[in-house]
Structure 1
Amino acid sequence: MGRPPLPVGTYGEIKTKWDGSRGMASCQFRDLDGKVRKVRAWAQSPSKAANKLRERLRDRKISMGELSAESKVVDVAERWLSEFRDMVDAGKRSGTSYDTYEHRWRTLVKPRVVGLSVMELTTGRVDKIIQDIDGEYSASTARTCRAVVSGICGLAVRHGALSVNPVREARPVENGKRKKRPRALTVEEAIKIFETADGDEVARRHDLPDIMRYFAGTGTRTGETLAIRWETIDFDEKIAWVESNAIRSKLTGRTVNDGKTNNAERGIPMADWLVEMLLDRRARVAAMVGVEPEEMCGWVFPSTTGTLRENSNMRRDWRAFRDRHKIGDWFTPRTFRRTVATVLTDELPAREAADILGHSRVSQTTDTYVGRNLVSRHAAAVLNALGKTAEKRQDDQ
């Protein structure tokens, strides 16, 4: 006689093991539809992973209850977050997005709705919550909180607990002050920073001179830069193929995904100076490990142990470099991305520049990344044609 199935809403034995450097716990859970699904959690050790999994199972069980207008907002939110976690596990959502939403819910939204039922989430009350957050924090934070509340209310609508989503009619969040221009570097500023990094022994030990030049030559995101592999660089065609993005989240730990948008996977044509820098780097690394340069594989900018470098570690080294040389906090890895966007849009059609940067929308490139602090002579050259008309008029007179 076969083993009887798990009752709906229950789970089987929790199993733990080491998954690389992290602990992992897993078990089988029987959902409301009768299907048995594997649920997993990761943490610093197997025992911590097991505790984390038990919390997820508790939330999952709560989320299986029927929703009504009297349901507590906090219970609906846990159900929404549980569904979001499932989508992360299925590869349909990013773990970093879950981290952001969960943090905003726990720290900003939950304290404002902790005693409310779903039917008490009126448009007026939602509007006040979002506007209060906007006034106390920032427009960006308020928009994220608005997305959280909209997701929670959307779930309530789908299950009949609400007839309409009250967030739809709430006032949009607008910037209260003029948006700062993106800060880009001039060519002279970039060269000076390269020279400063070249002369900094600590920066050289952390690979910052080469990483900075790669940023400046490609305009790639931090995660894309750390995820680049020797196998994806075509030295013959002088193209760096961007195929992945290194991220870390609470749910998935350190992972490499396919990128932020459909345009994230792309080929970036490399300037000759960047090709020479990478060839020199490859030759140096190959000599250290005792292989031919053409046989090199793996991460181009690995950690000190040869593994995938952590974004946070690279940013820590970057901040330390910035502090040592009294460079303002405006100088981040994204500064080079803005610089590349500015240079490209001055010389190329905006759509072509957006494709190189991996943006799905041209406006993302022109509005967010282009630093217009740099004065171009192109406009003056075009306007010279008007001067010829003025000269002719003077001659006629």
Structure 2
Amino acid sequence: MAYFRKRGTKWEYRIKFTNQKTGLPDETSKGGFKSKTEASLAAAKAQLELEYYGFLPDGNELVETYFGKWMETYKKPNLKPITYSVQERNVRLNILPRWGKKKMKQINRNEYQEWINELKEKYSEGTVRRIHSIFSCAMNDAVHEFNILRENPVQRIKIPKDRDKVKKIKYFTKIQLKSFLEYTRPVKNAKYKASMQYLALFTLLSHTGLRIGEALALKWDDIDLDKKTLVVNKTLVYPLNSTPYISTPKSKTSGRSIKLDETTIKILKKHRLNQKEVILMYKNYKAAREDIIFHQHDGRWLRTNVVREYFKEVCKRASIPILSPHALRHTHAVHLLEAGANIKYVSERLGHKSVKITADTYLHVTEKIEDDALSLYEQYVQK
């Protein structure tokens, strides 16, 4: 039932109803109409919406207020800390500066699409998709969980494609990798010159394709040197200016068992013995905590940023392209494929979610393999 009253020169309507969200009596009102007829028409529309939806949306809340509640209620309890920190950063640095002071009901598809197009000028397609995914997920929950919107205003948005669809990966050739590993040992005036830790770490990365976090989380009981196998069941997360912690692998397929080659086995055996020698040799060099394989001089996990810096120094010494430790993962994959390894085997060894990811990532290599296979076929049928 709608009620009307005149306030000064303007008319106002008031509607009483049972809120289907709470099951309790509720009411809504709106004023500022020039005539009672105008107020009656607006009230009739509101009543139809109430009968259909059972509630009236409250879109007056600021986007920044809503996102604060949404992140705390729906994201923080259900995401890994590192994943949450990435999403929180995207909300804080990309979404809120543009939309924070707007009301939820003011978000419209056209303006949002323009913003997405602007983001694409700054970020890659993948990054824009991640930002849009966060925003759209929040809007879906605004509809279905918070009931403050009736529909998601950012549905069916088009993300501009990268002009260069093939991202060129960076890796070392066989000659470059050999040179890199030769220059990995500490230089003459290094603080812990006797340590061969980085040789062991970089050999392991380049011969297994492990992610840096997976390697730094390893303990000695994760490796069976007799059976020549390594188990990946965790990863080290080292947030900037925060305490490091052990987390589950990146995805379900990231957990895996890897076969080790003879060279890697020999290096790891030497490293295990070398760890004990270094501890005896240097007074301030402590034993590793929790029996971890790679560690700082104080026994704590080796820092990822320290590894990256040392990696760059080795590249400079070896006079090869200055890449990042992740390049060793790509290097291992490329060398396997070039050696003729089955792409499904490579995909499982790397812990990819699917063979398609492997094929797309190493497209230039897989194309070469296809060309070589076709050449062999042509030679065969022409005999």
Q: Same fold (TM over 0.5)?
A: yes
Question: Residue 353 of structure 2 aligns to a residue in which SS?
Answer: coil
Give the Cα separation in 2 of the matches to 1:277 and 1:378: 35
Whether the 8 Å contact between 2:237 and 2:244 is mirrored in structure 1 is yes
Displacement of 1:389: 5.0
Worse-superposed segment, 179-188 or 373-382:
373-382
Number of aligned residue pairs: give it: 315
Evaluate the alpha carbon distance shift between residue 336 and residue 163 of structure 1 in structure 2; reply closer, same or farther with a 3 A threshold.
same
1:109 is paired with a residue of what secondary structure? helix
- Residue 105 of structure 1 aligns with which residue? 91
> What is the match of residue 147 of structure 2?
160
Q: Does residue 1:357 correspond to 2:350, yes or no?
A: yes
Q: Give the residue type in structure 2 aligned to 1:192.
A: S
Structure 2 unaligned residues grouped into runs of 5+: 1-55, 281-288
Query: 337-346 or 352-361, which moves further after superposition?
Result: 337-346
Question: Which of the residues 300, 311, 320 maps onto 1:307?
Answer: 300
SS at match of 2:364: coil
SS of the residue corresponding to residue 267 of structure 1 reads strand
Note the alpha carbon deviations across 1:278-297, whole angstroms, 9 max, x for none: 0111122234557xxxxx97
Counterparts in 2 of 1:72 and 1:169: CA distance versus 1, 3 Å: same
Letter in 2 for 1:174: K
Residues 68 and 382 of structure 1: is their aligned pair in 2 closer, same or farther, counting only changes over 3 Å?
Answer: same
Q: Report the equivalent of 1:135.
A: 121
Q: Is the 8 A contact 1:181 1:371 kept in 2?
A: no
Aligned to 2:199: 209
Residue 276 of structure 1: CA displacement?
Answer: 0.6
Give the corresponding residue for 1:332.
324
Aligned 1:3-42 pairs, distance under 5 A: none
Match of 1:148 in 2: 134
Name the TM-score, length of structure 1 as normaliser. Answer: 0.71
Q: Which residue of 2 aligns with 1:273?
A: 263
Q: Provide the C-alpha distance between the structure 1 equivalents of 2:363 and 2:99, rounded to a whole number of angstroms.
A: 40
Superimposed CA distance per residue, residues 150-193 of structure 1 (whole angstroms, 9 cap, x where no aligned partner): 13212211211122222321112421234332122222221111
Which of 199, 207, 219 is equivalent to 2:209?
A: 219
* Structure exhibiting the larger radius of gyration computed from Cα positions: 2
- Structure 2 distance, partners of 1:377, 1:148, is 38
Change (3 A) 1:326 1:85: farther
Q: Secondary structure at the match of 1:169?
A: coil
Q: Which amino acid aligns with 1:362?
A: V
Q: Is the 2:183–2:314 contact (alpha carbons within 8 Å) kept by the matching residues of 1?
A: no
Alignment of 1:227-242 (within 5 A): 227-242=217-232
Q: 1: CA distance between counterparts of 2:157 and 2:366? A: 39
The 1:69/1:254 distance shift into structure 2, 3 A limit, reads same
Are 1:194 and 2:184 an aligned pair?
Answer: no
**Shift of the alpha carbon at 1:344?**
2.9
Q: State the distance in 2 between where 1:232 and 1:278 align.
A: 12
**1:228-287 residue CA offsets vs partner (Å, 9 max, x unmatched):** 111111011100111210003479731101111111221110001100110111122234
Asked if the contact 2:116/2:159 (under 8 Å) is kept, the reply is no
User: In 1, distance between residues paired with 2:61 and 2:231?
Assistant: 50
Deviation at 1:75, TM superposition (A): 0.7
CA distance in structure 2 between the partners assigned to 1:348 and 1:196 by the alignment:
28
Q: 1:259 aligns with which of 230, 249, 258?
A: 249
Out of 289, 292, 311, which is 1:318 matched to? 311
Aligned to 1:259, what secondary structure does the other structure show? coil
Displacement after TM superposition at 1:373 (Å): 6.0
**Matches of 1:375 and 1:189, distance apart in 2:** 23
SS in 1 for 2:254: coil
> 2:284 is matched with which residue?
none
1:199, CA displacement in angstroms?
6.6
- State how far apart, in whole Å, the 1-side matches of 2:142 and 2:377 are: 63
Q: Percent identity?
A: 19
Change (3 A) 1:191 1:255: same
Cα contact 2:236–2:247 (8 A) shared by 1? yes
Give the stretch that moved more between structures: 297-306 or 338-347. 338-347
Q: Give the partner amino acid of 2:131.
A: C
Report the Cα offset of residue 133 of structure 1: 1.0
Q: Is the 8 A contact 1:153 1:165 kept in 2?
A: yes
Other structure's SS at 2:345 match: helix
Secondary structure at the residue paired with 1:147?
helix
What amino acid sits opposite 1:74 in the alignment?
A: E
SS in 2 for 1:268: strand
Report the TM-score when normalising by structure 2: 0.73
For 2:66, the aligned partner's letter is V
1:319 Cα deviation from its structure 2 partner: 2.9
Note the C-alpha offset of 1:81.
1.9
Quote the RMSD (CA, aligned, Å): 2.9
Aligned to 1:80: 70
- Whether the 8 Å contact between 2:204 and 2:264 is mirrored in structure 1 is yes
CA deviation vs aligned residue, 1:64-114 (integer Å, no higher than 9, x gap): xx9821111111111122135532xxxx42222222222222222212113
Q: Of 336, 339, 342, which aligns to 1:344?
A: 336
- Checking the alignment, whether the CA contact within 8 Å between 2:180 and 2:315 is kept in structure 1 is no
Match of 1:125 in 2: 111
Kept in 2: contact 1:182–1:371 (CA 8 A): no
Secondary structure class of the residue paired with 2:154:
helix
Residue matched to 2:6: none
The answer to whether residue 84 in structure 2 is matched with residue 94 in structure 1 is no
Of 133-142 and 117-126, deviating more is 133-142
